[in-house]
Each structure stands twice: as C-alpha cells, then as structure tokens.
Structure 1
Amino acid sequence: MTKARTEHTATLLTVGTVLVAGGERDGALRSAELFDPATGLWQKTAKMATARSSHTATLLPNGTVLFAGGSIYWWEPMASSELFDPAARLWQNTAKMATARSSHTATLLPNGKVLVAGGLAEYGAPLASSELYDPAAGTWTATGSMAVARHGHCATLLLDGTVLVCGGYANPQRLDPAELYNPQTGTWSTVARMKVARSSHCATLLSTGSVLVTGGFDRGVAIATTELYKPATETWSATADLKVARYDHSSTLMPDGTVLVVGGMTGSDERIDSVELFDPLLETWSLQTGLGDVRSDHTATLLANGTVLIAGGTVGNGDDSEPTASAVAYLKPCKGVSP
C-alpha cells in the first residue's frame, strides 16, 4: 500500500477494486487508497473528511460506502459519518450518529438500512445502544438496545434477515451471551450463550446458514476453540479446535464453502503467520502455507477471482512491532496440489 496502517477497513467495491481507508499509524489517518486486482497496484484517492480508526465501512446498495464512527484516540470516539462515492472518488459528510462510538459493528440489512451496534463510548465504556442509518434519507434513528453492553464483538447477518451478535468485552470480563436483532420489530432477543466467553474473535456465515466462531481472547489467553451457531435451533455446538490459538485474526468464507483463517496473535505481544482452512463437511482444520510475516489487525477481502487480499495490520513482535503497508494475496490450491 502507499501508507502503513492498522485498525483500518477494506471494502470490495462493485467495480471490483478494493477501498482501504483510515486506520492508525502514530495517530488516526485520513488517507485512503484503491487496489486494482487487474494490475496488482495501489493508487491513492481523496482523503476522508475526518481521520478515524476502529471505525466501520459498509457497502450500500447504490455502490457508495458508509463510514461510521471510530476514534482519533481510543478514549475519544466520534459520532461523525461520511460517504465515499467510487464514481467521483470523493467523500461527503452525512448525518452524525446519535451516539459517538468506536470498535462497534455495522451490518447491512435486507431493507438497505445499516445497523450499528455496541462499541466503546468516551473513556472506554461499553455501549448497549444501536441505531439505523437510512441511505435514502441520509439519517440515523435509534432502534432497540442490546441486553448486554459490549465491544470487540461480532455481528453476522443470518439468512432469515436477523442479525446475530455474540461475545465481546465489557470491563472487566469477556462475554458469552448472544443476541438476535429483528429488523421487522427493531428489537433484540437473547439466544443460547456461546460455549466459551471470548472477544476479538471472528464469526463467519457458512453456506449452510450456520455461523462459525473462531478463536478469541479470554483472561489473558488466546483461544483455540471454535463453535457453530445453528439458527434453526438457536443453539451452539463445539467443533474442532484451531491448530493454533489466536485472536485479532481474520476469517473469510471461500467460494467452495471452506473458511480461511489468517494470522492474529497468540500471546500478549506474540503475533503469528499461520494460516488454516476449515472444511465444514468434515469439521476439520488444516494448516496452509504461512503468511511469510507475523501479522494481526489486518483486513482480508475476497476478490472476484477467488484470491484473498490480506492488507496492512501490525507486523513484528515486541519492540519491533509496527503498522505495515505490505499486502499479500492468498489463492487456495487445487486439490492434490500443495498450498
């Protein structure tokens, strides 16, 4: 990339390019850039109106991208939001959220609205509130609050249009409660708790409609356990452990239905380069060729050609750790061919 960054976002645009924006390196960044898979090159684009990291980016049905919240410093979240127009390559401010927040989740609903939930308020207080962005009106409105305030959680749009939120952190503990948001009623309902409390984990919707939750962090220890949420019964079941315990990693659903897990941290200051693949039919994990550098807090974007673009994040360990501008493309090997 043209700029080293971590805690940024990456969005696959309708034209096939990838927009990377914001993040942090010695402070929050305004810079944004575009990756063209056809050439393998990065190009700077216009800067955001507001520097931000730990924000969300959501591709809207009209092809624009909504950026919401985030922070310049962790104790100072923001309520501002803005839109990126890929055709004009310009940014435009839109309405502010009702609540300033960072480290929240944003989910595009079937009706075209965006659900923002939880996150961090001023000075690190977890939030239970949620709100909706209406692209047609360009406005935010409050909707139901979660039963549990949280950040560092995951939100997954299920096949029936509801949204599953699970895990996260609420000082001083990691969480195992899970909740469902119903867009029809604007309310949350609790479902069965996860088998393991965790934050900084990943949740991936499988082609079967189940949700795979991987890794995470609890009581100073990286987690190797994984579990499956089954919407039909609203229950969790344990599945095979990761080969390497990790948190702050990425998880990507591949075109063939497998799940690619990349990098992350396995200790308080110990990043890893390991890559694993989950087979949902066998419910097994297999190690793949490593990244080549230890990395966490990166983005992973599935491209139209089936490769996964791993961009930015933090590399190195201890005093040698720093945000990176490097990017790696992963291509799953054909059967019978070494990765």
Structure 2
Amino acid sequence: MKCIIVKLLMIALLLLQCNPSDGDEGAKKLGFVALFLVSMQKFGRYGHVAVPVGNNILTIGGQNGFTVFNDIYQFDPLQNVIYPVSNLKYARSNFKAVQLLDGKVFIVGGNSSPLSASSNANSPLIQTEIFDPLTKTIISGPNLIQGRSDFSMDLLNDGRVLIAGGRSDSILKSAELFDPNNLTILPVGNLNFNRCLHTSTKLNNGKILMIGGLDNGQATVATTELFDPNTLTFTTSGNLSVSRALHAANLLANGNVLVTGGYKISTPPFATNTKVVELYDSGLGSFSSIGNISEFRVGHTAISTASNRILLCGGHQILSGSPILSSCELFDTGTMSILGSGQMRSKRSAHTSNLLSGSKILITSGFDRVDFSTGIPGANKTSELFDFNQFSSIPVFGDL
C-alpha cells in the first residue's frame, strides 16, 4: 500500500510540473492531493462527533468495530476536502463535544474501548479535553465526577455546560455542570428519571428539554423533563405518546420541538420502529402526534434548515436484515408534511450531518452494514455534500 501511495504522489508531482501554474496554487493543489491519498488509508467510523467551528467542521473520534479512534479531522468547504489536523489524548466513542463561547471545543466522556454484551459501557472515561481550533492543540480539562457514555451535553446561555444521564455500569440519572471560567465540574443534582440515548434541546427560554431514552430495565421511556439553569433543578414535563430512543429532536422557530423516528422497547429485548412524529408545545408543556414520516428511521440525523424545514437522512430499521437507509426526506414544519425526498450516495446510520452555507449538508461516515455473525457494524469511510433544494449529492475528497 505504501508503494502505491508513493507512486501516486510521484504522478501528482509530474502532473503539476507538466501543468505550470502559480507556485502557491500548485503547492496547495499538491497538498490536497497528498491529504486525499494519505487519508485513503484511514477507516470510517460511527460513535463520532462533528462540531461546526467557523466555516469548517471538525470530525472527532468514533470507532469502527473493535477499534476506537483518537483522531480529529477538519472539513474545508472551500476546497471540499476533509483532512487530519490533530489527535485527542484519549480515543473516544459515544462521547460528546461542544464549542464553548471562547471558540474552543470541550470534549467529554465516552468509551475508549468498544461496548461488550456483558456491560453497559466498559468503564467510560472520566477525562475531559479542550481543543483549540486555532493552534490545533489539546489540553486536559477537569475530570467528570461520573464517567459516562451515550449522555446528553448542552451549552447554556451563560457559557456553562450541562452533562446529564448516560450509562456506566448502569443507566444514570446524575448530572454535572462544567464552568469554563474556572475549569471546574460540579454535581448539579439528579434527573427525575434514569436515561441514556435520549435527546436534549435548548429552548428559547434557555431551559433544556430532555426527551425519552432507555432506562435501567433497557426499556424505552416516554418521560421528559426540563432543566432550569437559573435554579439548577430538573422538573418533569409532558409525556411522549410513543416512548422512544435513538430518535431526533429539533427546535422550531416558534419555540416548539419536533420529535422524529427512533425505536420503542416495551418488553426487552424486543424492539419496534415508529414513524410517528410528535410536537412538543413549549407553552403548554405537552406533546401531540401530528403525523408520520415516510420511513422508519433509527440513528438518523435531522437538520433544521433556514427555511423552517427539517432534513431527515439515513438511519436503520428494526426489521429482518436490519436495513440501512440511503434515503432523505424533507419535512415542512409549516404544513407538518413531507415536501420531497432523495437519496444519499451511500446508505448510512449513526452518521453525522452539519448544515453548511446555502442548501448544503455535510454528511459524514456512519455504518453501512452489520456482520450478523458478530453483531458488529461496519463503517462507511466516505463523506458527501447533500443539497436539500436539488435532492442531489456530491462526494467529499478525502476519506475518514
């Protein structure tokens, strides 16, 4: 493989020499050719995080099968290329990361080794890290009080960060608060319900709405609750009509929240899909069912666009053969109906999606197959740019 890469780089050099151009521009082109070729040796991933930083997108960590990654990649939308920029101190999967008010990225928890059937989280990490996108350097942050994976994490309006729920040896109900001003993490009381694989959404009033997830009995929950940053307390809110986990929740322009997809478990371990779309009324604190999406989706992404529409992409289904989807559908939050649909270049679930300028969405990695003899997903190492106006997609140069 190394010989092939060297030969390809030599060919690239010859091509640049045969096509004289400005020196800086030629060096830039060669740099991106080199980045593309080197990145071909890497693996795809799921359980990763994608964080917008300025005009770029950072893709951090994740895993493929029994390998957990510590690398950080950056997507440059001007060059349409993704390339490595740094490394974490700890390999992580099923963790969270958020950009702080000062522009740095706070990276928390997760697993440094893959989950096993005999444990909830294989001793998730207590270590946190802080990445500086300008200098591409990493420093250690304060330790969590409780190591956790599959939790929720939200940047509050005052710059503090709420870390809640998740799993360790059991499903957790504890919560912690990170203060970036003095680099401390303190306990902030308990949720009303144990939950992991739930969603958390910051409302227009600054409160955090937590929806669904799994409980200690491995059943999905219909309960929801609100965290108040002023009183540092959790209060119960209305119940879902359909309990669910691995769903998506999007804040609408009017302050309400739309919930799509996920799976339901009433009697573990038997799971079912749901197409039911629910709307949370932030004024009344209650949910109502408003219709269905076109396909069952678990582990999909849901991106809010500037046109008050939500693009749902990919995911998988709890059906025979566990089909993985390449389809996308555009949901109009004004009419509460599906406007149209299209196809990604690849089927994928547990991927990431980020809104770019215009009508473009960056869709990264995820898994596109499952080995049914081991139950281990296989990662897709590609990324693509999906245009939700045209329902078309182009590849991104450079693989994860």
Check if 1:8 corresponds to 2:33.
no
User: Normalising by the residue count of structure 2, what TM-score does the alignment of the two structures yield?
Assistant: 0.81
Q: Residue 92 of structure 1 is aligned with which of 132, 139, 162?
A: 139
Give the equivalent residue in structure 1 for 2:160.
113
- Is residue 2:315 matched to residue 1:275? no
Match of 1:61 among 88, 101, 114: 101
Query: RMSD across aligned C-alpha pairs, in angstroms?
Result: 1.7
1:45 pairs with one of 69, 85, 101: 85
Q: CA deviation at 1:172?
A: 2.8
Deviations 1:17-51 (A, max 9, x none): 11101000232111111000000011211110000
Taking the aligned partners of 1:54 and 1:227, their CA distance within structure 2 comes to: 26
SS of match in other structure, 2:246 = coil
Q: 2:84 & 2:370 partners in 1: Cα distance?
A: 29
Distance 2:106 2:179 in 1: 11
1:181-192 pair list within 5 angstroms: 181-192=227-238
Equivalent residue for 2:33?
none
Q: 3-state DSSP class of the match of 2:343?
A: coil
Matching residue's letter, 1:212: L
| Greater Cα offset, 233-242 or 260-269 | 260-269
- How far, CA to CA, are the matches of 2:279 and 2:310 in structure 1? 13
- Measure how far apart 1:316 and its partner are: 2.8
> Which residue in 2 is equivalent to 1:237?
288
DSSP-derived class of the 1:82 partner:
strand
Cα deviation for residue 119 of structure 1 reads 0.2
Equivalent-residue separation in structure 1 for 2:189 and 2:77 (angstroms): 40
Equivalence for 1:147: 192
What is the DSSP-based 3-state SS (H/G/I as helix, E as strand, rest coil) of the residue aligned with 2:87? coil
Pairs aligned (count): 334
Structure 2 counterpart of 1:310: 363
- Classify the secondary structure of the residue corresponding to 2:384: strand
1:179 aligns with 2:221: no
Q: Which amino acid aligns with 2:160?
A: K
Q: How does 1:107-256 map to 2 (within 5 A)?
A: 107-122=154-169, 125-170=170-215, 171-219=217-265, 220-256=271-307
Q: Deviations over 1:209-249 (max 9, x none)?
A: 11000011113112111101011110111112010011110
Residues 223 and 239 in structure 2, CA contact (< 8 A), matched pair in contact too:
yes
Which AA in structure 2 matches 1:275? C
Is 1:330 the counterpart of 2:386? The answer is: yes
1:250-297 Cα distance to aligned partner (Å, 9 max, x none):
000011110000000112522111111110111102441111322100
Higher helix proportion: 2
Indicate conservation of the 8 Å contact 1:243/1:287, yes or no: no
Aligned-partner residue type, residue 8 of structure 1: H
Shift of 1:321: 5.0
Mapped partners of 1:229, 1:92: distance in 2 = 39
Match of 1:262 among 313, 322, 327: 313
Which sits farther off after the overlay, 103-112 or 286-295?
286-295
One-letter code aligned to 1:236: F
Corresponding residue SS for 1:265: coil
Structure 2, unpaired ranges of 5+: 1-35, 116-121, 266-270, 394-400
1:54–1:70 contact (8 Å) kept in structure 2: yes
Letter in 1 for 2:312: V
**TM-score for both structures, normalised by structure 1:** 0.95
The residue number in structure 1 matching 2:347 is: 294
Instruction: Confirm whether residue 20 of structure 1 aligns to residue 59 of structure 2.
Output: yes
> What is the distance in 1 between the residues matched to 2:106 and 2:132?
9
CA distance in 2, matches of 1:151, 1:338: 34
> For residues 134 and 6 of structure 1, what CA distance do their matches in structure 2 show?
29
Partner letter of residue 241 of structure 1? N
Residue 34 of structure 1: which of 57, 66, 74 is its match?
74
Q: Aligned partners of 1:306 and 1:13: how far apart in 2? A: 18
List runs of 5+ in structure 1 lacking aligned partners. Answer: none
Deviation per CA, 1:282-337, whole angstroms, max 9, x where unpaired? 11024411113221000011113441100010013555951121011111226xx9
Determine helix, strand or coil for the equivalent of 1:188: strand
Give the percent of matched residue pairs that are identical in Structure 1 and Structure 2. 28
Deviation at 1:338, TM superposition (A): 8.7
